[in-house]
Amino acid sequence: MEKEIRLQKIGRRKSLRQRAKESKKWQKITTVVYPLIFGAVLVGLWQGQILHRWFHTDTFTLPLLNKIGEIMRDNMDKILENTGATVSVAVIGLVIGSLLGYLVAVLAALFPKIGMGGPAVLGAFASVPVVAIAPVLNNWTKDLSDEASIRSMISKIIVVTLICAADMGLNAYRGLTEIKPFSEDLMAIYAAPKRTTLWKLRLPNSLPYVFTALKVSVPASIMTAIVSEYFAEYITGVGRQIRENIVLAQYATAWAYIATACLIGIAAYVILMAFQSILLRRYS
């Protein structure tokens, strides 16, 4: 009698776990729950100063979260102003850069003989480090405007543009050219002109690749905007605030801006994901 009960118990436990593993609902829940648990543990370790013990640091260089939150709340206006400066540079650069990159990719796909070099040139630009190109562009754009705020913004936008254009150009080119052979043959059989092949086959085929590019270039545009602020003539932006405050040993304030930079990145990624799920619905 006893034996039977025990067996039953074991059996039931196993099946529960098994069932959980197989249920799609559970899987969906875990994709949300596990990161949340990870986040909660991290917050606990941070606020409980256990992280500080592990990394042999103090609450001065790694301020507690409530302190960072306090500073963010106290300086909301200033933070929003700097966020605006950074985001506008990142977004404008991202849009111009992505359009430019896509255009180059289309040209390269349409006229492979002439245009092949386009993505390669863009790739070469992208491999120039931001810290090298930002000060150079800062000097080149000095004559563009009498207003330091405007010429600084232009120089930062150009840096972001170059980085994003390369990303988009290389990825979109793959999307425009790596087409399933049968579909290309089919278009040939229909005697479709180049333009039609482009509109009906190549452009739709490149859409997932565009999002692959954006997944990289959206965070990269923010990062590039932040780094190029270091060298800009006009003092503004989240990146510049991080630098100023660290040099002045104002770590808590610097962390408030680091947190701001993270939030900008996360927000941008969420927006991108929302766009993707709408636009790519028919692909999945």
Query: What residue ranges bind another protein (CB under 8 A)?
Result: 58-61, 70-71, 74-75, 78, 113-114, 116-117, 121, 135, 138-140, 142-144, 146-148, 231-235, 240, 243-253, 256
Task: Output the 3-class SS for the chain.
Answer: CHHHHHHHHHHHHHHHHHHHHHCHHHHHHHHHHHHHHHHHHHHHHHHCCHHHHHCCCCCCCCCCHHHHHHHHHHCHHHHHHHHHHHHHHHHHHHHHHHHHHHHHHHHHHHCHHHHCHHHHHHHHHHCCCHHHHHHHHHHHHHHCCCCHHHHHHHHHHHHHHHHHHHHHHHHHHHHHHCCCHHHHHHHHHCCCCHHHHHHHHHHHHHHHHHHHHHHHHHHHHHHHHHHHHCCCCCCCCHHHHHHHHHHCCCHHHHHHHHHHHHHHHHHHHHHHHHHHHHHCHHHC
Q: How far is the CB of 184 from another protein (least distance, A)?
A: 21
| Of residues 140 and 269, the one with the C-beta less far from another protein | 140
Q: How far is the CB of 229 from another protein (least distance, A)?
A: 10
| Of residues 206 and 253, the one with the C-beta less far from another protein | 253
Q: How far is the CB of 233 from another protein (least distance, A)?
A: 5
| Of residues 8 and 139, the one with the C-beta less far from another protein | 139
Q: How far is the CB of 221 from another protein (least distance, A)?
A: 22
| Of residues 102 and 251, the one with the C-beta less far from another protein | 251
| Of residues 147 and 185, the one with the C-beta less far from another protein | 147
| Of residues 4 and 146, the one with the C-beta less far from another protein | 146
Q: How far is the CB of 235 from another protein (least distance, A)?
A: 5
Q: How far is the CB of 256 from another protein (least distance, A)?
A: 7
